[in-house]
Structure formats: C-alpha cells, structure tokens
Amino acid sequence: MAVALGIVGFGIMGERLLRAALAHDPAVLRAVAVWDPSPAAAARLAEVAPGLPMLGSAAEVIAACDALYIASPPSSHIPHAEAALAAGRAVFLEKPLAANLAEARRFVAAAEAAGARAAVNFPMASSPAVARLRAWQPGLGAAKAVSIEVGFAAWPRAWQAAAASWLDGAAEGGFTREVVSHFLFLTRRLLGPLWLRDAFVHRPDPARAETVLRAGLLAGGVAVSLRGQVGGVAAEDTNEWRLWAEHGAMRLRDWSVAERAAMEGGALRAWQADPAALPNPQMRPLVLRGQLDKLAALTRGQAVDLATLREALEVQEVVEAMLAG
C-alpha cells in the first residue's frame, strides 16, 4: 500500500516536495493533505494540485497521513514532530530542527530513545552528484583540506521573499542556517565529526541575519575553511565545496555539478566534470524523488541513509556556535 504523505507548511519547500510527490509513483507514495494558515498558500495549493485538500489544522493532516513532512518555520518544527510521532506517524523535518538548541537536544534524545521513525531533509543524502563524490573519494588518497564558499547577491534570495519575515531574522534565519548547513552535512558525511575552531560573524543590524561569515573547523581531523557573504557577487546564489587530497581534488559547485582534478607535478590539472552532471533545476527533481523513495521506506520501518536527527543536531550545534561568533 502506498505511503500517505501529509505536508505542514506550504512555502517554497513544501511546494517543491509536493510537486515531487505528485510526480512520484503513486503505488509507492501519494500526497493526501496539506495545512498552512496562509490564505495565499491555499490559493497556490489550488493551482498546484486541484482537489488536494487544504485541511483546517496540522492535527487533521497528521490524522490523514502515514508520514508528515514539516516545512513550517523552525520554531514550529518540534511541536508538529512530537504530535506526529505521538500519533504513530513517521516524520520528515526541514532543518534546522528548532529555533532553540536546548529544545532540539531534548527532542533528539527523546526520539532516539523511542526509536522514532524520523529523518531530516538534507537533500545531499540523495544527490547523484554527492554519490559521484563518494565514488571518487577513495582514489584521491588521504584528505588534506576542505574549503566551503557561499555567496549571495542579496538575502533572502528572490524566491524566498515570501518568508523574509523569519529568513532575514537573527533568531531563525540567515544563510548559515539555510545554506551553509547543507555543506556542513556533506562534510560530516564524507569526513567525520565536526569541531569548530574559530568563527567571525558580521550583522550590521543585530535583529537581522548575518551578512558575513568566516570560520575554521575540523572534520574527522581535516582542516575546513568556510567563507560566506551577502553582496559582492553577481549571482543570486553561488557555492562551492572542495576537497583537497593526496592525489588530486574534487568539488561540488552550484549544488549539483561534481568535478575532479588529478595532481600532476605538484599542481592540479584541469577540472573534469561528471559526464552525468546536470544544472540544479534539472537535478532537483531527481534528488527529491530519491528523498521520497527513502521516506517511504523509512515509514515502512526499513533502514535508509536519510539525514538522521543526530546528524542534523550536530550540524545545528556547529551552526549556532558559529553564529555566536
């Protein structure tokens, strides 16, 4: 029987996952209900999926589904997740786990103790480009260093404007939580536990999100340098994750393009892209399909490699430590 998917929060992320669910094999997973208190969200749902009900509360969605995707603002993640888990549902959360780190720690400890069916939506867990990096990694030899760079013409990005009230706030928003966290998850998956050595954060307005981040970390003993900024770049969103190693280097750029370069005479040769690489708009549906396949398996009690609550908590702890400067 197909897994019935409910969605709480119908902003851009809720819409993206719903579109992926509508395109998914209905014998595996099907969307059954959505809840968002915004009238604009109800209007968009009617356009995206005529006939799919916008129910009157999160509780009604939980009652109607087998698995709940939580894409509401961070401060509401844990209340929705706890209600769904108490009702025996599987849970798929957006990151960060919570706006309060102590609450996130308490929630993760309780969920782990209960053996909860829960995971976090770090899409790199299902990215073909990341799978290519993992395949290349052994051939590069010992890792020497990692660099992460992100840049934005403005924050929030244009497509996030509807959520600017919290995405541009110091309490829940900012590019470190929203974007850098993905690359910290990737680093943790490929190299090992993260440890923050130092960080510098600039906020021109203490109530608003950061505009500059500089940090040094270790991942499994490998040095990681991190640079992020708002302004000074032409692209709406640019990013690169790069691993330097004994026999060459590999990188992920612009979310979805895996490339590698061999070392020759002490210098890197030209970057060679994965022949299967796709621009992110084309790659995203493939990634989300993989995430939904794994969510369906998780709901059925099967082992999957989605981001665990513990991994998401470790990333959040580093992120909040960086933002504290």
pLDDT more than 90, % of the chain: 94
Average pLDDT along the chain = 96
Q: What is the CATH number of the domain that holds 56?
A: 3.40.50.720
Task: Specify the pTM.
Answer: 0.95
Same domain for 192 and 137, yes or no, is yes
Alpha-carbon span 279 to 172, nearest angstrom: 29
User: Residue 309 falls within a domain, yes or no?
Assistant: no
Count: domains in the chain: 2
Residue-level pLDDT at 229: 97
- Burial status of residue 118 (CB atoms within 10 A of its CB: 0-12, 13-18, 19 or more): buried
Res. 144 pLDDT band, cuts 50 70 90: very high
Q: Given 88, 120, 152, which residue is the final one in a domain?
A: 120
Residue-level pLDDT at 224: 98
Residue-level pLDDT at 162: 84
Q: Given 120, 135, 158, which residue is the final one in a domain?
A: 120
Helices of type H across the chain: 12-22, 39-48, 58-64, 77-86, 101-114, 128-136, 164-167, 175, 181-191, 280-299, 309-323
User: Residue 298 falls within a domain, yes or no?
Assistant: no
Same domain for 142 and 103, yes or no, is no
Helix (H, G, I), strand (E, B) or coil at 16: helix
pLDDT tens profile 295-309: 999 999 999 999 999
Q: What is the CATH number of the domain that holds 177?
A: 3.30.360.10
Same domain for 184 and 106, yes or no, is no
Same domain for 38 and 154, yes or no, is no
Domain extent at residue 217: 126-279+314-323
User: Residue 64 falls within a domain, yes or no?
Assistant: yes
Q: Given 60, 92, 120, which residue is the final one in a domain?
A: 120
**Stretch 214-241: mean pLDDT:** 96
